[in-house]
Amino acid sequence: MNTTTKHDKFLEDLDVKAILSQDVEANIDRNLPMRKWLYAWLLDPNIPGNFQKELDKWVSYLIIINLFTLMFEHVPAVYEPYRVWFECFDIFSVAVFTIEYALRFYLAPEDEEFKNRKNARLGFVTSPFAIIDFLAVAPFYLQAFIPIDLRVLRFLRLLRIMKLFRVLIPAIAEFKELNKGRTFRQKVHALVFPSDFGGTMQHIFEVFIGVWVILSVLAVILESVKGINYILHLQFVILDAVAVAIFTVEYCMRMYACVEEPGYKGTIIGRIKQAKSPSTLIDFLAIVPFFLEVFLHHLMDLRFLRVFRLARLLKLTRGSDATAVLVKVVVREWPVMGAATFIMMLLLVLTASLGYLFEYDAQPEKFENIPTSIYWAVITLASVGYGDISPVTPMGRAMTSILALMGIGIFAIPAALLASAFSDELVKERDQLKAKLFSILKDGHITEAEAAIIRAEAKRLHLTVEEVNALIEVVIKEHELEERNPLPIHKIAENPALAVEHYKVLLGQIRQLGVQVDAAQFDQAAQQGDRLSANEFALWQKIQGKA
């Protein structure tokens, strides 16, 4: 009973939101002075649940958008028609950066870095971050008083990118601390591969690569529009060259540091194994078209390779849980899907052959051969029906009707198999998480390492706080049932020490039974109808100390 109460209390006190680091409410006293209250909500990095991270994130987004606007300002065909919008955005950006600077200046006496100085605000103004913040807005105000060449002003506005150091420098400091005493290769590994040593810097690296993947793919898509390519051709060429340089460096870093990964040990064997992995092959395909076109363009026309730059989009699947589950499901269900595919192909060939037989005489230009008829069979089975090829004979139309009806079921089989397998896989993954939670909660508390496991699993399975709470409640109930119900005999027998303890418990219960039961009535009942054999009754007497 005490154990049950303990688990109930543990579940009641368990803060799942805190464990998952989701929507944690900031614990800030409303009665604080205004300046302390504002600092706690907006700038204090040590209070979970406040707006400090959100503020830094949105300011970073604004800085990146500013860089793109500066690039497009150098393209007259883009800038001139929308000059007013560009100017309004610049005013908005300066207003935001000015408010941020003024806010940090006002709250400097509450900042841990400056609060102990004689003049906290002077210390803030002379700090590197404050100087960067000042340089981000100064050019805008200087042009109001000093005539500045527009080209010089645009150059000075590039200083806004330095505001990103407010996010980068703490991340770099954290990365150095996590990797203190480790080799250069181990540090590179921590940067490009997920590990306990990557910290925020590894996340920033992944976001950086992801942004460049999206930019390069968008550039490839927009390049195909002649009007846009005519205006931004030079920008597209530069962007593609920079993207290839970034992806090439990333590829080399992964190949260099992969030997630190479990399962990839060995200077040569490990790197060959890494090079053959699907994710690394995708990385290779992301850069090889550029180099082939540069070095072999004089031998043949390789412009068609530019389309293959869209393969960079596959880089976003690295570490994707959805992709991993899809691969696992397809591999597991492949025998059944293979059978369904075989039936589908058999049906396609048969119907295409019949379509050719029935329609060739009526439409020789459309049903000219069986491969062409296969195209007709595919679009009919798939219920697409483009209409470019359609039967005109009665037998052909009858067969098309039957084929269309069959296609509804035939094409639905693989989809149903995948949907069912996905559902089963998710149930299996949640059962595995439940088993982990059962082990974690067995001792009645959660360590930081165990919380990290729960966070990782919840993120991988896309579980909400409510879903994790429900799983924990199920685990707690199972704990209670385990404590109330003894282990089965075969489980106890597997452990001799446990078997001895169990035997002692049983002896104690028999002795308690002998004390509480009426001895004469027990002896009479035992001897009636030979309910107990002579040996069993003698053992009872011996345990009770009567023999």
Sorted by where each starts, the structural domains of the chain and their CATH numbers stand as 32-172 (1.20.120.350), 179-318 (1.20.120.350), 323-410 (1.10.287.70), 491-543 (no CATH)
d(CA 32, CA 163): 30
Compute CA 449 distance to the chain's CA centroid, rounded to the nearest angstrom: 19
Dist. CA 190–CA 261, nearest whole Å: 10
Interatomic CA distance for residues 161 and 60, integer angstroms: 9
Longest dimension (CA), the chain: 118
- Alpha helices of 267-320 — where are they, by DSSP H? 269-275, 278-296
Could you tell me how far CA 288 lies from the centroid of its own chain? 27
Sign of CA dihedral 63, 253, 322, 14: negative
How would you write the pLDDT of the chain (547 residues) with one tens digit per residue? 444 444 445 555 555 566 555 555 677 888 888 998 888 888 888 887 788 888 888 888 888 888 888 878 777 888 888 889 988 988 898 899 899 889 999 999 988 888 888 888 898 888 888 888 888 788 778 776 766 555 555 566 666 777 777 778 888 989 999 999 999 999 999 999 988 888 889 988 988 888 888 888 888 888 888 888 888 888 888 888 898 999 999 999 999 999 998 888 888 898 899 898 888 888 888 888 888 877 776 666 566 666 677 777 777 777 666 677 777 777 777 777 787 788 888 888 888 888 888 888 888 888 888 888 888 888 877 777 677 777 888 888 887 787 777 777 777 777 777 777 777 777 777 777 767 776 776 666 677 677 777 777 777 666 676 777 777 776 666 666 555 556 677 677 777 877 887 787 787 778 778 777 888 888 888 888 778 888 888 888 877 766 5
Residue 262's closest CA among 315, 323, 195? 195
Exposure b/e, 393-409, CB count within 10 A at least 16 = b: eeebeebbeebeeebee
pLDDT number for residue 4? 46
Q: What is the pLDDT of residue 155?
A: 62
pLDDT at 487: 66
> Is-contact 381 406, C-beta < 8 A?
yes
Judging by beta carbons within 10 Å of its beta carbon (0-12, 13-18, 19+), is residue 175 exposed, middle or buried?
A: buried
Residue type, 44: D
Strands (DSSP E) contained in 28-161 are none
Helix (H) / strand (E) containing 225:
none
pLDDT at 251: 92
pLDDT at 297: 66
| N residues, the chain | 547
Find, among 510, 492, 508, 509, the residue nearest to 500 by Cα: 492
